[in-house]
């Protein structure tokens, strides 16, 4: 232990269960961008693909992190996507006006549902609220959910899909508040549009749960909730903290840690608005697109016709060395935030699941599991389903500079505590943000509990990463981190690490 840093103290009260977390906070996302779909999850004819064209190694990896839900088909892509071109025997390639490439439409609704079934996750369809219409959205619900009635249910059946898909989760739109989004809306237009879309979609299937694109903005959400609040079960927000849209210059480790100080800001704002409308028991937050790193897609709206350089530049989003322990530690801090707000946040979707900024990277001979993948596996396998009361004191704070050179005070330890209802096991996530110093935490163990194990994810440096020929960042059981003295447990946290301490019934 470095004596320059105080020892933090943690107290846990397993008798005070705060709330149940929804497993959907560990969700993921896929968009028709780069190699997420084609050459990612879907590669017909590839030696590692099954008879339906899906990469079996990718499916196994997504199953192994208990992926609960996948949002599709976007993202910005959806705001000019017409789903009817992607079903049936004859698929018509279409020019994707969001990303300015041609999409073959060989991966559409039927393939997406098949993917979800293979993974064992819930589908969550985001609809075209840009160039699309309320009727087009409701036709999509008809195609997916009606047993036999109507033109589009019959179209599904004619394609060999007799049983309805029973898609429960739907979103009206993506980022329609953003001026660059195709079919963007003002806050006055948006509330009325969502209301009319929701009416038509629910007339087809009253049992669906609807979300709507939102932002932590008073005017936007007031109009949305006034007009469409009665129809909604969710409100959608997005977040990226390292904006790399134009310049692919990823923030360094300490710059990323400076971004972990106020991760629940937008949750607090949206929670307050829901409470002001008395809707906090009806509508939950879906943080349905999030990641530390923003996607790299420079000059998407200005590159001249015929240029391919702006498309090729997107490949920089797939460089594995970008996804280091900075991404892993940030991801763990964000998941801790979701857990501690899971009374109001019921779904979250890491963007994306595969390739570009995803947790999985595909290449011809296999896959790379990036450090962020292992964070998800640790949380889904070890953290419990109840968030319990916990309290920490003496957490050291140091200043770290953000990308703008501002000095930000950063608490070096981030934590969340859970209990598994089936056996009472307590799991405590402890994240050490310091780039090169280990830290010590003393845990006052609840009566009747004893330490079981601690799992740790760290690297040889804050910049360590995994790649095709490099697999240095993997979780490991870390018994040396624990020492016990009566009911007090001392845990040593390696530098730049994610740790989960498990306490079992004695």
pLDDT score for 1: 41
- With beta carbons less than 8 A apart as the criterion, state whether 154 and 146 touch: no
pLDDT tens for residues 229-242? 999 999 999 999 99
In this predicted structure, the answer to whether residue 506 has a pLDDT above a threshold of 90 is no
pLDDT tens for residues 58-73? 999 999 999 999 999 9
In this predicted structure, the answer to whether residue 13 has a pLDDT above a threshold of 50 is yes
DSSP codes, 339-385: HHTTTTEEEEEES-SBSTTSSEEEETTEEEE-HHHHHHHHHHHHS-S
Omega prior to 321 cis, within 30 of 0: no
**CA dist 327 to 206, 240, 380, 386, Å?**
40, 12, 18, 26
Q: Tell me which residue of 395, 490, 494, 499 sits closest to 454, measured CA to CA.
A: 499
Mean pLDDT computed over every residue of the chain? 97
pLDDT tens for residues 251-266? 999 999 999 999 999 9
Topology given in CATH for the domain delimited by 22-382: TIM Barrel (3.20.20)
pLDDT tens for residues 151-184? 999 999 999 999 999 999 999 999 999 999 999 9
pLDDT score for 227: 97
Distance CA 85, CA 90 (A): 8
CA 283 to chain centre: 19
pLDDT score for 2: 47
pLDDT score for 486: 85
pLDDT score for 487: 87
Domain segments of the chain: what residues? 8-16+386-505, 22-382
In this predicted structure, the answer to whether residue 3 has a pLDDT above a threshold of 90 is no
Which band of pLDDT confidence, cut at 50, 70 and 90, is reported for residue 201? very high
Exposure of 6 in the CB half-sphere (CA atoms within 13 A) = 11
Which strand (E) or helix (H) includes residue 109? helix 109-119
- With beta carbons less than 8 A apart as the criterion, state whether 350 and 29 touch: yes
CATH no. of 8-16+386-505: 2.60.40.1180
Lowest model confidence (mean pLDDT) among 27-31, 67-71, 388-392, 473-477: 388-392
- Is residue 343 left, alpha or beta, with left meaning phi > 0 and alpha meaning psi from -120 to 50? alpha
Task: State the average pLDDT over residues 203-213.
Answer: 98
pLDDT tens for residues 454-496? 999 999 999 999 999 999 999 999 999 999 998 899 999 999 9
């Amino acid at each position: 232990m470095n004596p320059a840093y105080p020892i933090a103290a943690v107290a846990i009260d397993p008798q005070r269960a705060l709330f149940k977390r929804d497993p959907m906070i560990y969700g993921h996302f896929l968009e028709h961008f780069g190699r997420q779909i084609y050459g990612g999850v879907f590669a017909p004819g590839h030696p590692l693909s099954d008879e339906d064209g899906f990469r079996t190694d990718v499916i196994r990896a997504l199953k192994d992190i208990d992926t609960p839900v996948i949002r599709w088909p976007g993202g910005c892509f959806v705001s000019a996507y017409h789903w009817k071109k992607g079903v049936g025997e004859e698929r018509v390639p279409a020019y994707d006006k969001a990303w300015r490439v041609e999409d073959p439409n060989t991966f559409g609704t039927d393939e997406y549902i098949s993917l979800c079934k293979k993974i064992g996750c819930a589908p969550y369809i985001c609809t075209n609220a840009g160039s699309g219409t309320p009727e087009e959205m409701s036709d999509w619900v008809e195609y997916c959910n009606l047993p036999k009635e109507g033109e589009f249910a019959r179209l599904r059946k004619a394609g060999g899909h007799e049983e309805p898909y029973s898609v429960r989760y739907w979103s009206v739109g993506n980022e329609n508040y953003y001026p660059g989004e195709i079919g963007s809306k003002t806050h006055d237009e948006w509330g009325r549009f969502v209301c009319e879309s929701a009416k038509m979609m629910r007339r087809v299937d009253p049992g669906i749960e609807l979300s709507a694109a939102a932002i932590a903005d008073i005017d936007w959400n007031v109009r949305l909730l006034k007009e469409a609040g009665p129809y909604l079960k969710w409100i959608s927000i997005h977040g990226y903290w390292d904006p790399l849209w134009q310049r692919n210059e990823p923030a360094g480790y300490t710059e990323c840690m400076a971004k972990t100080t106020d991760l629940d800001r937008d949750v607090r704002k949206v929670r307050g608005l829901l409470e002001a409308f008395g809707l906090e028991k009806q509508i939950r937050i879906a943080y349905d697109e999030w990641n530390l790193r923003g996607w790299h897609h420079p000059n998407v709206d200005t590159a001249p016709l015929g240029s391919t350089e702006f498309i090729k530049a997107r490949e920089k989003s797939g460089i594995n060395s970008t996804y280091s322990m900075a991404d892993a530690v940030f991801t763990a801090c964000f998941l801790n935030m979701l857990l501690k707000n899971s009374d109001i946040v019921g779904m979250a979707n890491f963007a994306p699941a595969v390739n570009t900024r995803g947790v999985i990277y595909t290449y011809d001979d296999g896959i790379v599991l990036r450090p962020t993948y292992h964070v998800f596996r640790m949380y889904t396998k070890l953290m419990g389903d109840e968030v319990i009361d916990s309290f920490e004191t003496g957490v050291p704070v140091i200043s770290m500079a953000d990308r703008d050179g501002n000095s930000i005070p950063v608490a070096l330890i981030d934590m969340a505590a859970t209990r598994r209802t089936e056996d009472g096991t307590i799991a405590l996530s402890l994240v050490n943000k310091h780039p090169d110093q280990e830290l010590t935490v003393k845990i006052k163990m609840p009566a009747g509990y004893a330490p079981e194990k601690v799992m740790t994810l760290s690297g040889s440096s804050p910049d360590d990463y995994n790649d095709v020929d490099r697999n240095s960042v993997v979780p490991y059981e870390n018994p040396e981190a624990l020492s016990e003295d009566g009911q007090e447990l001392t845990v040593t946290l390696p530098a730049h690490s994610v740790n989960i301490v498990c306490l079992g019934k004695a």
